[in-house]
Structure 1
């Protein structure tokens, strides 16, 4: 009599390919949900570029390489900040209001693939928003970025975005759709102006400069400008970035757990 034997699948056999496939599926699903509303894509891509055209290109400093590069860096951070507040903030709040999201959170795969897909989706839109912005800077200003600073600039932009990512997730998991949209709009422009993303901090009056130094957008702006132009980094940059990253990250985790406990227990 022959005996049939079956090898039981180990944890690595099931998890590694399955996990990657789930991340890919969630990324694709969230991407399709976003592009089905074209105005959301247009707003994400066009608004930072329009800001560049209005606030940088017509100015005299657009013909100065260092100042134009610094200005492009500032607007680039604004583009990433917009994605964090709207894609991660308002987008999460909208998803939470849908029955489909409630269903996904009851599945036994955990929150990891869904969160990874959301992060990849936002990263894709952040990179997309930078393409026309960089083209405008290259064609219409004297901005330049040496090849040896490209990776440094990308890393600085990613680090500068961390507090905004935590803030966006906190808004998304902590508020309803209407409230998240209002709060994201209220936060966007004051943080951008106060952080020196539209006007260089050197033009600020003393009282505004003192407040600006403690904002996450100002610390992020100083880090990105230092990475792209080589100017000295203020001493407050790293402590402010670290403090805001820890604070907004803790708020995002608390908002997620509170939402999960309120709706699924």
Structure 2
């Protein structure tokens, strides 16, 4: 299993196109959105543009890495027969999933750190050391929810259908979860739905820390619930795919 994890990490780091969109692009997007904005608090919040979008783009980048990376790679490997070949070895199913999560987490961490560095350098965001560490760690660990979703989609969709399905889910969650614009600017019905979406709870972890507080129990509970749901779906779809092979 260790060998496969190393292989997956190496392959992820060699994919320059994927690295650009999952690691560099979120930081560039953050600079474009918040770079020239002043420090006036966003209506309905106590956060400036620099603070609000720093957490949003860190979450966006991590979600890009683990969701899109996992779903498309798994679907392609199923079509090429790579997953079936691995089943003929002594590698357990959980080892394959762990390798996918590990490779995605390896790419998502630099993305998070780069956005936080851009916040400190470009927007001169100043936080206590514990806040920087808590935002980075919380965003990184929270991305496991979307890594599990990526695995589930990878076993659900075929190689041709996986990209449109993933992108539809990806953009819907990002928009309705408030990653692209403050929730206070969205219609009330969207805000009501967003309160129960994993992306809203995901970004809320970092925003609570920015305000000097601990993440809310409701947000952590929502993320934990989605993690159990997505991981359970991924496990069921993996077993179903195994029976077909």
TM-score band by shorter chain is 0.7 to 0.9
Match of 1:41 in 2: 19
Q: Among 140, 146, 166, which residue is 1:164 paired with?
A: 146
Q: Matches of residues 116-265 of structure 1 in structure 2 within 5 Å?
A: 116-231=98-213, 236-263=218-245
TM-score by length of 2: 0.87
1:128, CA displacement in angstroms? 2.1
Change in 2 beyond 3 A, CA 1:208/1:72: same
* Aligned position for 1:60: 38
Whole-Å Cα distance in 2 between the matches of residues 31 and 148 of structure 1? Answer: 29
Larger radius of gyration: 1
Does the CA-based 8 Å contact 1:79-1:130 persist in structure 2?
yes
Partner Cα distance (2:124, 2:213) in 1: 17
Gaps of 5+ in 2: none
CA distance in 1, matches of 2:53, 2:70: 25
Q: What's the RMSD between the two structures over aligned residues? A: 2.5
Aligned residues: 241
Greater Cα offset, 150-159 or 253-262: 150-159
Q: Relative to structure 2, which stretch is displaced further, 33-42 or 99-108? A: 33-42
Structure 1 residues 68-122: Cα deviation after superposition (integer angstroms, max 9, x where no partner): 2332111111111111211111121122222333211210232343333222211
- SS at 2:160's partner residue? helix
Counterpart for residue 16 of structure 1: none
The answer as to whether partners of 1:80 and 1:161 remain within 8 angstroms in 2 is yes
* Contact 2:198–2:223, Cα closer than 8 Å, also in 1: yes
Other structure's SS at 1:178 match: coil
**Match in the other structure for 2:55:** 73
Separation in structure 1 between the aligned mates of residue 10 and residue 223 of structure 2, nearest angstrom: 33
- CA 1:27/1:145 → structure 2, altered by over 3 Å: closer, same or farther? farther
User: Structure 2: how far apart are the matches of 1:99 and 1:123?
Assistant: 24
- Measured after TM superposition, the shift of residue 245 of structure 1 is 2.0
User: What's 1:92 paired with?
Assistant: 74
Task: State the shift of 1:262 in Å.
Answer: 1.1
Q: Which runs of 5+ in 1 are unaligned?
A: 1-21
